[in-house]
Amino acid sequence: MTTREDISFLAGSENRVRILEALRDRPHRQSELVREGDLSRSTVHRTLDGLTTREWVVRDEGTFHLTPGGRLILERYEGLENAVERVGEWGPFLNRLGESAGALSIAALDDATLIAGCPENPHAALTHLADVFTNATDAERFRGISPVVSTVINEAAFELVSAGVPMELVIDDSVFSTSKASFPDALDDAHAFENIELFEYPGALEFGLTILDDRVLVGAYDDRGVLRECLDGTDDALFEWATEVYDERRSAARRIDPLASE
């Protein structure tokens, strides 16, 4: 049997996964698997035969046990199912992140929440992000990346600046140009505070990113610069990914001197 044949065997019937799951909890006799799983005796017999042939399950004095290899197979299969389900749900969000999404593990998304706009509430993601900023005035540190100019986000972030939260914000050259041309007062206000540093990234930024202490928010924008989804989470894997992304963009950016805004 080949590896692909073994994968096809496990994926070919939900009953095979169910029996592995039951044996993970405790050893079972065949009759118990029939009764507890509400399965036919022939189905359980065929399934156990396939599982024991692959040495994922062993029989010992009439009782079937999950082997260490079988436990590993089950865990990895459940991880694959989770990945397929998550990508199916969050595919548009991940696609908007571009190449950076490739380094974002599925584990980093396990406990995160994705807020997405819908016909009934098209600005759900923007509202959520603004609310987080407004209510985080006790944060110890803010690090951010912004690919767009948004008056809503600027006004919410002003609450953080006014509260004295140390802030670093990386914007790309197009955002800087737009800010100088259309929102010069906002730039002047930013430079008036000693607790905020602005940096210009030499190129386009694909998505928005905020690290508030140990909380991470990732904003995905469409081609028109509209915020479509906002990921919100505190998972360690998500924090590590976000920190790496931010540090990479920050190291490639130059600090914006107040005179550069004039």
Q: Is residue 135 included in any domain, yes or no?
A: yes
Query: Do 176 and 211 have their domain in common?
Result: yes
Query: Do 128 and 68 have their domain in common?
Result: no
Radius of gyration of the chain (CA): 26
Query: Do 23 and 71 have their domain in common?
Result: yes
* 72-86 per-position pLDDT tens digit: 999 999 988 988 888
Q: Which of 45, 75, 105 is the C-terminal boundary of a domain?
A: 75
Query: Do 200 and 257 have their domain in common?
Result: yes
The pLDDT value given to residue 47? 95
The pLDDT value given to residue 191? 63
pTM: 0.78
Query: Do 189 and 149 have their domain in common?
Result: yes
3-state secondary structure 57-120: EEEECCEEEECHHHHHHHHHHHHHHHHHHHHHHHHHHHHHCHHHHHHCCHHHHCCCEEEECECC
Angle between helices 14-25 and 41-53 (to 10 degrees): 80
Where residue 63 sits, what CATH number does that domain have? 1.10.10.10
* 61-112 per-position pLDDT tens digit: 999 999 999 999 999 999 889 888 888 888 889 999 988 888 888 888 888 9
The pLDDT value given to residue 186? 63
- Regions of the chain short of the pLDDT cut 70: 180-191, 258-262
Query: Do 188 and 245 have their domain in common?
Result: yes
Q: Is residue 39 included in any domain, yes or no?
A: yes
Query: Do 125 and 235 have their domain in common?
Result: yes
Q: Is residue 117 included in any domain, yes or no?
A: yes
Query: Do 188 and 151 have their domain in common?
Result: yes
**For residue 68, which amino acid is it?**
P
E-assigned strands of the chain? 28-29, 57-60, 63-66, 113-116, 142-146, 167-172, 196-201, 208-212, 215-221, 227-233, 254-255
Q: Is residue 86 included in any domain, yes or no?
A: no
Let me know the angle formed at the C-alpha of 252 by 246 and 254, rounded to the nearest 5 degrees. 105
Query: Do 45 and 104 have their domain in common?
Result: no
Number of domains in the chain: 2
Q: Is residue 180 included in any domain, yes or no?
A: yes
Query: Do 169 and 128 have their domain in common?
Result: yes
The pLDDT value given to residue 249? 95
Q: Is residue 41 included in any domain, yes or no?
A: yes
Q: Is residue 252 included in any domain, yes or no?
A: yes
Q: Which of 11, 42, 75 is the C-terminal boundary of a domain?
A: 75
Query: Do 185 and 123 have their domain in common?
Result: yes
Query: Do 146 and 55 have their domain in common?
Result: no
Q: Is residue 88 included in any domain, yes or no?
A: no
Token pair for residue 20? 């592995």
State which residues form the domain around 60. Answer: 3-75
CB 189 within 8 A of CB 154: no
